[in-house]
Structure 1
Amino acid sequence: MNQYLSIFIDEANEHLQSLNENMLRLEQQPEDIDIVQVIFRSAHTLKGMSATMGFEDLASLTHEMENVLDLVRNGKLSMNGNIFDTLFKGLDSLEGMIQDVVNGGTGKADVGELVQRLKAIVSGDSAGSGPASSKSSDLSASLLLDQFQQSVLMQSLESGHSAYYIEVAVREDCVLKAARAYMVFDVLERNGEVVKSHPSVQDIEQEKFDRSFSVYYITRMDEEALKEQISRVSEIESVRLNVIDKSSLAEMARAENEAPAAPNAAQREAAAASTAPAAAQPATSENAAPRSAPAAGSAAPRTIRVDIERLDSLMNLFSEMLIDRVRLEQLASEIRRGDLTETVEHMARVSSDLQNIVLKLRMVPIDSVFNRFPRMVRDLAKSLNKKVDLVISGAETELDRTVIDEIGDPLVHLIRNAVDHGIESIEDRLAAGKPEIGTVHLRAYHSGNHVFIEIEEDGRGIHRDKVLATAVKRGVVTPEAAKALTDDEVNMLIFAAGFSTADKVSDISGRGVGLDVVKAKISSLGGHVSVTSAPGKGTTFSIQLPLTLSIIAAMLVKLGSEKYAFPLSSIVETSTVKRDQIRSLHGTNIVEYRQSVIPVLSLAQLVDSPDYRDAEETETEMLVIRKGDKLAAVLVDEFIGQSEIVLKTLGKYLKNLDLVSGATILGDGQVALIIDPNALIK
């Protein structure tokens, strides 16, 4: 089956993405049976593919999800919060198993608990009430015990001990859940033995549980005394005890023996339905990802999957050809022969068209990054008890694959920050006269040779005084410098390393990491991030990124015998300046430029050029460069002209060169270093 593995992974990921997107749609429109039909078809196809490939845990979990969806689409079951949460947890488990397959694993996982929850929903426990005081509801949770644990309980009952299933819930306003849970376990272990806890003891110690946890417990204490002792622990809201006797244990063992049969039957049914691997079958409406299915009556899109490494090789080969083209153009201009010049010009036009096609092959819609965020925002909002609506626009905007691969993590940080810090709680929003549902806009659009990505929310905004106080306290700025900062400069302080205004540390944010990482990552991509905010109205983060990192338009300049390149996108203007117009102010050289004063840098001095022209010249060439709203002038010896250059990295041995972002090979074989204008202005 290994020959089909890569196709299985691609198609499984497409189905998972479709399942996530349609589940979110269904949560907004729970009565829409058409959406349920689409989800059911995706789950059914994924089950067949998994069973055929031999991934049994994947197939069994998907089969149980399919059973729930089947009842919903036939009108026998209505969706509720518990069913949605269980199905979403199922999708998370499926994603984890597929990721395990991607990493070379077997795709196995402990899905027993989820399978039992789904079976309980099918059998009528759709409210997810879990173990109740009756024996029958107690059994569905009891199935989580393995044979050894059942044996321990049986022997304890025979020796005169009492066995209980205990469910403990802590109060909603409890600050230290793990500490309260520890105190409950301390009471239990003094008076008996815990056979099994759910979640695990390690998870409970790390507060990885909601408000409740449950245990199977053996003791000689009677029910009332035990309940009273646990209830004495402060901040415990409720304690429920279910007595376990021999008959319920026998029923538990019988159910345990029957449980594995269902998944195997499901796998046999799926395997019979798919005599050949789904990956190798032609795309039909059943096994193609629903989100990419063509509209009714239209021709199916003719696409082909290509290995990324082949595209990278194609790009590298084309880069070499581009270098030779520039060299040929240079030689043709020196030889001055008509037919040679004509041929070279034609080749230049063809290679220019080829360049556009090669670049477009590498362009990927940013949708591939954006589509993970609706589910993330939904889960975040739920955990923070907020209501948040994520509005995505411009998802069809295309970016180079190298940029797409890197931009995901910074966007995750910014969106988590927007939901956690930006959007207020429901009570605060209503008190401020806002709708209870907060809105986060995620948009992307092209502008020139750049792509802009914006994250805008209508939350509380950035409070200048709080940011300044934190910045001064952490030593980011001095108290004197803080007074002179503009609002925009204050907003940018949140990108300082270790900066955090969070009142408490959570697993979402507030550890003082995140935004500094965002800024560093975006700068490494040749991009720029800015933030604007209005207190009480919201905040907008704007990211500016280059379309591609492989081939850039540049201005070539000379310093003596050396050549350097500046990205054209950062250059505002080229001109000449007289030496006597350059003045010194507080140790910094400045020059007047369009009714303003900008700093002047000598590139020759910065790179320690060995043979640049003497500074006694009365006039010199000048480049005006921009980073955000900051300008600077760079002095050079001579302009060579504009050229499209292939960006080459300097390799792993030449690191921490802030001034240089890479190198290129020119038509004459010389190497020109590419200057990073961001570092110059910094």
Structure 2
Amino acid sequence: MEMNQYLSMFIDESREHLQAMNENMLKLEANPEDIGIVQSIFRSAHTLKGMSATMGFEDLASLTHEMENVLDLVRNHKLAMNPFIFDAIFKSLDSLEAMVEDIINGGTGQADVSAIVATLKSIVSGDYERSGSSGGSPAASAPAEAELDEFQYSILLQSLESGHQVYYIQVSIEETCVLKAARSYMVFNLLEQNGEIVKSTPSVEDIEKEKFDNSFTVYYLSQLSKEELEKQVGNISEIQSVIAEKLDENSLKLKMQQSQAQASAAAASQIAEASQQTAATAVAAKPEASAPKAAPSGGGAVASRTIRVDIERLDVLMNLFSELLIDRVRLEQLASEIHRSDLTETVEHMARVSSDLQNIVLKLRMVPVDNVFNRFPRMVRDLAKSLDKKVDLIITGAETELDRTVIDEIGDPLVHLLRNAVDHGVETVPERIAAGKPETGTVNLRAFHSGNHVFIEIEEDGKGINRDKVLATALKRGIVTPEQAKTLTDEEVYRLLFAAGFSTADKISDVSGRGVGLDVVKTKIESLGGHVQIDSKPGAGTKFSVQLPLTLSIISAMLIRLGDEKYAIPLSSIVETAVIQKEDIRSVHGNKMMDFRGGFIPLLSISKLFEVTSYSEDDETETEIVVIRKGDKLAALMVDEFIGQQEIVLKSLGKYLTNLFAVSGATILGDGQVALIIDPNALIK
């Protein structure tokens, strides 16, 4: 039986069942007595086991079989759920997800699941309760890694003999740090700029996957002094301590002997544990963080009235339709010139049909944001537990739809913003009680439509952003000057959090972590044609609001003419159009301004900006204007003539025309002409 043809179906259905199990486990954690939820989880595990066995993925099948055994006891009232069992099943789900990801990446789906299988077996037999006080998890029985092998030792020895300085560096990261891997990467990056890392313990791969406690060690070659090395690494935010030990031949030899002794002891300990055949043991559970409220779900039932379509096919369909749209506009233009009633009727009918077709094609590409949101309840639950906080995640508007291309890109920025909300926004339980707030913090994740945009808001009821600390940090980093700092509004101060490198400000400052990845978040959202705003009240909480376009391929635009050239301005950025007299234009410090609804806004000359030689507004007594908006800022663009509103197909300018100012792409008009699409956001500074 040829399995490859069924692999994509297996992967899609495995992901659905794993997601359903994760969501139902969160619901069960909130209602441990609800046997109906257990039944749903059991059905998903049973289906996944059958699929895995059929496809030949034995490790997946054996792990889901052990999960089934535990769930079977629970649903038959022979076993009551407790924190240890919850943690064991969540760990099992993590292992299953890792194995499915391995299969997606072309692997075999094999993994060492013996430790978690032993844990599940001990739950079924009841041994975990008897041995709960005797020690740690079986995962801890993995052999300790020998710090140095012979080859690495010889490299370090030769480096010493050739005059290089060899260091043994121990780095500890603060326990409150959430992004340990990111901090470790910053340490490794700094070290590699000033020397060469010979060996790290744990390995770089484990550190990248956050498979380490709060410390790691490296053997390092560098010309820097011990003091300079400790100072540079210590300046990285959330690094608790750095101890650099300069090695000579004797101390290096001693380290090698210690490494060999560690390896021997670890091997002996592993053999002893194996011989005792010890079942998995329980770890005393911490007080549970309140389980986030998951988005409503139907328990993972796979709908039968749907078919799976490769996203590339939809892209091809979109491109073909966009060509059809260009021809439709051309036909409408020809029909208006020829004046034949039968041709006009046919073109009008074609326009109606293609308009309906356009709606269908766009809807095919639309995906509910629930596809992104559904992984957040589990993430927030784990994060709150690791930080010893109580957090409720309340999701609303998960059915709101967005273009598939936007959905694929928006996940990582939202992860950053949610981590920030839980880690830096919501206070610890003692802090919340002291502030007179409920023990459990609330993080609201909302999505809703507004015009041609989708808004996603992340709001928490935490301590808010400390304006003075943000400003002090920005001044220290040189992001703003003292003169600028005096005139900044609250909103402008909060926007400084998005400045590149803001997070590396000062390890003592509790706002430094607010900048982790926020510059990356802003860049990613703006690359999708959206923008992000911050609103915060000290003591009351912070709200991040992300505005995104509904789709990136077909947009409504106003076509304008400048002499011989045509341009398109997206309707979503236009406030209104008007005609103004030349005498109404004011000059303020050499800049053109105009009176607009009781205030003054800048007046920009597009013809001078784009160097259009065939038109100059200086020769006219009155000029048409388009008022554009970016956030709460307005500006007016002077144009020669309005052509009209049109649905246009957004085309990129290719890889040769990059970094063009105020141009976001181009479109082909009905007469075959190319019109550049103006980016209003770039025109408003």
Question: Shorter-normalised TM-score: what interval?
Answer: 0.7 to 0.9
* Residue equivalent to 2:498: 495
Deviation (angstroms), 1:474? 1.5
Check conservation: 1:83, 1:126, Cα contact below 8 A.
no
* Residue equivalent to 1:632: 635
Pair 1:532–1:128, CA change in 2 (3 A): farther
* Residue equivalent to 1:561: 564
Larger radius of gyration: 1
In the aligned structure 2, how far is the partner of 1:244 from the partner of 1:338?
90
Check conservation: 1:602, 1:635, Cα contact below 8 A.
yes
1:548 corresponds to 2:533: no
Check conservation: 2:141, 2:270, Cα contact below 8 A.
no
For residues 324-367 of structure 1, the C-alpha deviation after alignment (integer angstroms, 9 at most, x for no partner) is 00000000101111111111111101111111111111111110
In the aligned structure 2, how far is the partner of 1:549 from the partner of 1:246?
60
Using the size of structure 2 for normalisation, the TM-score is 0.77
Q: Map 1:234-249 to 2 at 5 A.
A: none
For residues 516-565 of structure 1, the C-alpha deviation after alignment (integer angstroms, 9 at most, x for no partner) is 12122211212121111111001111111111111100001111211110
Pair 1:251–1:641, CA change in 2 (3 A): closer
Residue of 91, 114, 117 corresponding to 1:115: 117
For residues 376-425 of structure 1, the C-alpha deviation after alignment (integer angstroms, 9 at most, x for no partner) is 10111111111100000110111111111111111111111111111011
**Structure 1, 668-677 or 540-549: larger mean CA deviation:** 540-549
Q: Map 1:509-520 to 2 at 5 A.
A: 510=513, 512-520=515-523
In the aligned structure 1, how far is the partner of 2:536 from the partner of 2:382?
26
Residue of 521, 525, 528 corresponding to 2:528: 525
* Residue equivalent to 1:270: none
Which amino acid is 1:414 matched to?
A: L
Q: Alignment length, in residue pairs? A: 569
Which amino acid is 1:252 matched to?
A: A
* Residue equivalent to 2:274: 252
1:310 corresponds to 2:332: no
Deviation (angstroms), 1:313? 1.1
In the aligned structure 1, how far is the partner of 2:373 from the partner of 2:344?
47
In the aligned structure 1, how far is the partner of 2:663 from the partner of 2:483?
34
Q: Map 1:408-419 to 2 at 5 A.
A: 408-419=411-422
Deviation (angstroms), 1:208? 4.5
* Residue equivalent to 2:100: 98
Which amino acid is 1:602 matched to?
A: S
Q: Map 1:434-453 to 2 at 5 A.
A: 434-453=437-456
Residue of 310, 320, 325 corresponding to 1:322: 325
* Residue equivalent to 1:335: 338
Pair 1:589–1:45, CA change in 2 (3 A): same
* Residue equivalent to 1:191: none
1:393 corresponds to 2:396: yes
Check conservation: 1:172, 1:211, Cα contact below 8 A.
yes
Using the size of structure 1 for normalisation, the TM-score is 0.77
Deviation (angstroms), 1:674? 0.6
In the aligned structure 2, how far is the partner of 1:114 from the partner of 1:4?
28
For residues 124-181 of structure 1, the C-alpha deviation after alignment (integer angstroms, 9 at most, x for no partner) is 2445956828xxx99x7798679xxxxxxxxxxxxxxxxxxxxxxxx999899x9xxx
In the aligned structure 1, how far is the partner of 2:353 from the partner of 2:453?
25
Residue of 70, 73, 77 corresponding to 1:71: 73
* Residue equivalent to 2:656: 653
In the aligned structure 1, how far is the partner of 2:683 from the partner of 2:453?
20
Pair 1:128–1:576, CA change in 2 (3 A): farther
Q: CA RMSD in A?
A: 3.5
Deviation (angstroms), 1:200? 8.5
In the aligned structure 2, how far is the partner of 1:564 from the partner of 1:201?
51
Q: Map 1:347-386 to 2 at 5 A.
A: 347-386=350-389
Pair 1:249–1:627, CA change in 2 (3 A): closer
Check conservation: 2:504, 2:512, Cα contact below 8 A.
no
**Structure 1, 583-592 or 469-478: larger mean CA deviation:** 583-592
* Residue equivalent to 2:159: none
Which amino acid is 1:557 matched to?
A: I
* Residue equivalent to 2:48: 46
1:432 corresponds to 2:435: yes
Residue of 570, 576, 599 corresponding to 2:602: 599
Pair 1:211–1:547, CA change in 2 (3 A): closer
Check conservation: 2:40, 2:299, Cα contact below 8 A.
no
In the aligned structure 2, how far is the partner of 1:247 from the partner of 1:598?
76
Unaligned runs of 5+ in 1: 147-170, 179-197, 214-242, 260-288, 295-299
SS at match of 2:337: helix
* Residue equivalent to 1:21: 23
Q: Map 1:114-153 to 2 at 5 A.
A: 114-127=116-129, 132=134
* Residue equivalent to 1:277: none
Pair 1:109–1:92, CA change in 2 (3 A): same
For residues 619-663 of structure 1, the C-alpha deviation after alignment (integer angstroms, 9 at most, x for no partner) is 221110001100001111111111000111112222212411111
Deviation (angstroms), 1:199? 8.7
For residues 88-120 of structure 1, the C-alpha deviation after alignment (integer angstroms, 9 at most, x for no partner) is 121111111111111111112222222222222
SS at match of 2:410: helix
In the aligned structure 2, how far is the partner of 1:524 from the partner of 1:142?
44
SS at match of 1:615: helix
Check conservation: 1:82, 1:127, Cα contact below 8 A.
no
* Residue equivalent to 2:677: 674
Check conservation: 2:455, 2:548, Cα contact below 8 A.
yes
Check conservation: 2:617, 2:623, Cα contact below 8 A.
no
Check conservation: 1:505, 1:511, Cα contact below 8 A.
no
**Identical positions, percent:** 73
* Residue equivalent to 1:226: none
Check conservation: 1:416, 1:509, Cα contact below 8 A.
no
Check conservation: 1:121, 1:128, Cα contact below 8 A.
no
* Residue equivalent to 1:275: none
SS at match of 1:642: strand
In the aligned structure 2, how far is the partner of 1:648 from the partner of 1:11?
35
Check conservation: 1:466, 1:501, Cα contact below 8 A.
no
**Structure 1, 307-316 or 324-333: larger mean CA deviation:** 307-316
Deviation (angstroms), 1:74? 2.1
Pair 1:203–1:132, CA change in 2 (3 A): farther
Which amino acid is 2:614 matched to?
A: D
In the aligned structure 2, how far is the partner of 1:415 from the partner of 1:647?
32
Which amino acid is 2:301 matched to?
A: A
Pair 1:488–1:250, CA change in 2 (3 A): closer
Check conservation: 1:142, 1:252, Cα contact below 8 A.
no
Unaligned runs of 5+ in 2: 145-171, 181-200, 217-264, 281-296
Check conservation: 1:559, 1:638, Cα contact below 8 A.
yes
For residues 40-97 of structure 1, the C-alpha deviation after alignment (integer angstroms, 9 at most, x for no partner) is 1111111111111111121122222222222222222222222212211211111111
Check conservation: 1:659, 1:680, Cα contact below 8 A.
yes
In the aligned structure 1, how far is the partner of 2:476 from the partner of 2:100?
46
Check conservation: 2:477, 2:505, Cα contact below 8 A.
no
